[in-house]
Amino acid sequence: MKMLSNQAKELVKALCQTRFYGMMVRQDPNQNSRLNMVIAVVEDGTFQIDKYVENTVDYAKVGDHYYSDKAPGVALLGIPLYSGLKFFLDMPVMDTLMEKLSNNSAFQSTLRQGGSGILKHKVRFAIAQVFLTIMLSAIPTALLAVLMYRLLGEFDKNVWHRLAVVIGYGLLTPAFAYAGAFYGHQFSTFLLFAAFYLIFMHAVTTKTLLTVGLLLGYSVVTEYPSVLMIIVIYFYTLYKLYHTDDWKRIGWVTLTGGIVAIFWMGYNTTIFGSPLELGYSHSELWQDQHHTGFMSLTLPSLEAMWGITFGMFRGLFFLSPLLLLSIPGFWLWWRSGKYRAEWILSMACTLIIFLFNSSSSMWWGGFAIGPRYLLPMLPFMSLSIIFVFKLWEHKPVGNYLRFLPGLTLFLYAWSFVVTWGLTLAEQSFPSDTIRNPFVEYAIPNWQIGNIARNAGTILGFKGMLSLIPLFIIVMILVGGWWLLTQRHETSSP
């Protein structure tokens, strides 16, 4: 009964987060680049995106043809998914949908003035984007939250402490915004965290090691910077094996990771002419950036360090100040003397991605909500916050701790207002010409009711009223989770 209850609670959490993430519908050149590749392969039988290149600036030009310049991971997985979806898109029901959207004043109000209006191929494109986003961004992020919840149980059995950390990561950081976008960040992050979870939580069998290698290998194919974190997780795995006098079994991780690398190099050779030639080397509009230093990487700069932490432009702690709790969290974790290897891994993953982002000539990430290049480190960084909550439970609240509950509540509230304010505003991510996106972008759009298209829009609700279905679902799912928790606590001896 206990196992059933726990799994039911986790399922509710997964459904809750997936529903949140699948609500917002927006398009941008980054997402279009990947989606163009998916559609070109399925519809035209080619990786060439010549027919669709007008909707993106993120393309690679090779000879007289155009290709997506992005890491191909999510697009390759999107090909079989879109092939299945195409069966439904080709049905006559599409004409009915077009007619309904044309008569839907709420949906019409979200279209840009002077735009093309509602066209059938654009509706197909949007449906494909939403479907692939749910499958390859929203669901993986929800599953990551479940893994985090389970893993935190090794640090703290308190359900509410674990839930506070998971909600903080999943709903109050940039992960919330990018779980609703067809980027590779969240899928790659899920693969990295899942690999760590398997090594930490499970017996290190051959099957586990083969799976870890597959996860780590495909995370690189999805987002190239993840190779930095792979090194950390790889050596963590080696450390675990060494302590069982079986370090040679690391070869199983290397094997499946290498197989993924071979297929990836085959893709590069087919498209770009060389196994290690990346699409970024052929990005026609971004040659200056990608040829600065090594693939846009130089040395960490103070401007970038400030910009991705406390700056109002892309600052992580301005957007999600609850993550400041990770600073005392890491200190408390170390002082506990427990899980030192995991502390080193989490700290190393956090620092290495931070230094990577600080070294980029485009550290702000173009059109974005927060510092999107930091996304892979966030779940590892968030783990440490559990030790702040443990402190309250195991120590009397003295004068120096009395203010912490109120401060934590304030940090969570600020994170909610800014993260949701930016994520739900307008039909695209804030431009990199807007230096204070919350003040100059989010607030003005909320004032005029310019809310990102969502399920409420399709149902006919305009502006902020379109969020009513979202909040109803939130209350139902959170209430269901609470009831399951109460039932479990009542039935426990």
Q: What is the reported pLDDT for 103?
A: 65
Q: Where are the alpha helices (DSSP H) in 90-138?
A: 93-102, 105-108, 120-133
CA distance 449 to 445: 6
Assess contact for 308 and 363: CB atoms under 8 A: yes
Q: What is the reported pLDDT for 119?
A: 61
Q: What is the reported pLDDT for 349?
A: 98
The amino acid occupying position 56 is T
The closest of 30, 146, 123, 137 to 81, measured between CA atoms, is 137
Q: What is the reported pLDDT for 460?
A: 76
Residues of the chain with pLDDT below 70 are 1-25, 98-99, 101-120, 289-295, 394-401, 477-478, 480-482, 484-493
The closest of 356, 355, 358 to 311, measured between CA atoms, is 358
Q: What is the reported pLDDT for 3?
A: 43
Assess contact for 181 and 137: CB atoms under 8 A: yes
The closest of 226, 422, 205 to 320, measured between CA atoms, is 422
- What global pTM score does this model have? 0.92
Q: What is the reported pLDDT for 473?
A: 74
Q: How far apart are the first and last CA of the chain?
A: 12
Q: What is the reported pLDDT for 208?
A: 97
